[in-house]
Amino acid sequence: MALDEQLLDDPDGLAASDPSGTLRALAMAGAQVRMALSATAEAGIAKIVADGRPRAVVVASLGGSAVVGDILILLAGSGAPVPVSVRRGLPLPGWVGPLDLVVAVSMSGRAPGPLGLAAEAARRGCRLLTVGAPRSPLAEVSERTGGVHVAVPRSETPAARASRMGLWSLAVPVISVAHELGLTDASPSVLERVADRLDTQADKYRPSSDAFVNPAKSLALELSGVMPVVLGDGDVTGVAAARAAAMLARTARVPAMRGALPDDAGDVVATFDGPLAKRPAADIFADPEFGDAPASSPQMRLLLLRDAAPTLDRPDGSWLETARTADAVRATAEDAGVRVTEVAADPGHPLERLADLISLTDFASVYMALAGGIDPLTSPHVADLRDRTH
């Protein structure tokens, strides 16, 4: 996909190309965190917390909100005092019962998967937390059955009502309840720092910042016309890679392979001698004048997401081995002639580092869409799929 580079450096043109306000929605990510903290406090989550730590937590999220479950698993970590799992739809596992907490997340409050799981959880007498639109079917299930519903604040910007663009509105209530239950250390002060960091990133990636000094616009240009392979070098960056691949697909309409180290190192480097890794040899007898030039195929580009040294997360030093693997993957890519873009998070709490990377790739995906003449918010083919499956 060729990008209009002049449009990237034209703030007025970008605004005219973005009637749904996707850039504005991303710029308000910090505000989303703060408003979600207030909404969570007002929802009365003490009702869920009062009974103490549950036996297990099951998160129902899919589509644009799927990453919410991934974030909770990341923050809880392998040393979580109770198991945390994610379900995309029915059935609810047979072992889930009154001792467990079920969390259902849907921006519209109408997604069949979370809605069905919430209803089944209520029938089994589980503790229930729902997050989504007020006065929605999901809110009704929760309120009718003694659960707690955190209503996502209404927004005048259409994009902010999309789950992809309203990530932090959905994630913060879940993170906050998990902290109160002793499952994570993501306290309100941590979330305030996340909000501040998202504000800083939004200023850095603002539309009025020229492409040569704007990392998000630069990344959009580097990913133009290529097949991205997004690889995270650990737990935090693995979640960021999954989010980046989803945003590239749904927002910029660019399919992307993604993975996390160390598990996916072999799968990724195996593609370095495949058909997308190198440009096809030119045919010296082809005459472009008569259309004989071979059709070009998109070439691979490795987008390597690096974590700040997570010494506090993994004091045993195991992160050093993962870092060495990431260095080896990059060296192998460069030796094979595969182009590499590497970006790194700044130090901080895992949620702050994740926010760094999500902010960058979210903005880059939207800039790719706008400069490619694509509506970042609405895909006609997704609408067709929805019509054919409902």
pLDDT score, position 317: 66
Give the C-alpha separation, 247 to 366, whole Å: 8
Give the C-alpha separation, 188 to 11, whole Å: 35
DSSP state of 135: T
DSSP 191-230: HHHHHHHHHHHHHHT-TTS-TTT-HHHHHHHHTTTEEEEE
* Each residue's pLDDT expressed in tens, for the chain with a length of 390 residues: 678 899 999 999 999 999 989 999 999 999 999 999 999 999 999 999 998 999 999 999 887 788 999 999 999 987 889 999 998 878 899 999 999 999 999 999 999 899 999 999 999 999 999 999 999 999 999 999 999 999 998 766 676 677 788 999 999 999 999 999 999 999 999 999 999 999 999 999 999 999 999 999 999 999 999 999 999 999 999 999 999 999 999 999 999 999 999 899 999 999 999 888 865 555 555 554 444 444 456 789 999 999 986 655 666 667 788 889 999 999 999 999 999 999 999 999 999 999 999 999 999 999 999 999 999 888 788 777 777 876
pLDDT score, position 262: 87
Nearest to 300 by CA among 219, 218, 222: 222
Give the C-alpha separation, 176 to 179, whole Å: 5
Give the C-alpha separation, 247 to 212, whole Å: 23
By the 8 A CB rule, do 235 and 79 touch? Answer: no
Query: How far is residue 388 from each of residues 65, 111, 382, 383, measured CA to CA in Å?
Result: 22, 15, 10, 9
Half-sphere exposure of 60 (CA within 13 A, CB side): 32
Question: Beta strand pairing status for 57-60 and 84-87?
Answer: parallel
Give the angle 188-192-194 at the CA atoms, nearest 5°: 115
pLDDT score, position 344: 94
By the 8 A CB rule, do 258 and 229 touch? Answer: yes
pLDDT score, position 288: 46
Give the C-alpha separation, 164 to 32, whole Å: 13
Match 């450096």 to its residue by tokens: 9
What letter represents residue 214's amino acid? Answer: N
- DSSP three-state, residue 284: coil
Half-sphere exposure of 72 (CA within 13 A, CB side): 34
Bond before 91 cis per omega within 30 degrees: yes
The two structure tokens encoding residue 49: 């917390």
pTM of this structure: 0.91
Give the C-alpha separation, 362 to 248, whole Å: 8
pLDDT score, position 89: 79
Class for the domain spanning 210-282+297-379: alpha beta
DSSP 160-189: GGSTTTTHHHHHHHHHHHHHHTTS----HH
Dihedrals phi, psi of 128, to nearest 5 degrees: -135, 125
Which sequence spans correspond to the domains of the chain? 20-196, 210-282+297-379
By the 8 A CB rule, do 68 and 200 touch? Answer: no
The two structure tokens encoding residue 220: 């959009």
User: Do 20-196 and 210-282+297-379 show the same overall fold?
Assistant: yes
Query: Which listed CATH number (3.40.50.1820, 3.30.710.10, 3.10.450.30, 3.40.50.10490) goes with 20-196?
Result: 3.40.50.10490
Alpha helices in the chain (DSSP H): 5-8, 11-16, 22-27, 29-42, 46-49, 66-76, 112-123, 137-144, 167-180, 188-204, 215-222, 235-250, 265-270, 318-335, 350-371, 380-389
Residues across the chain: 390
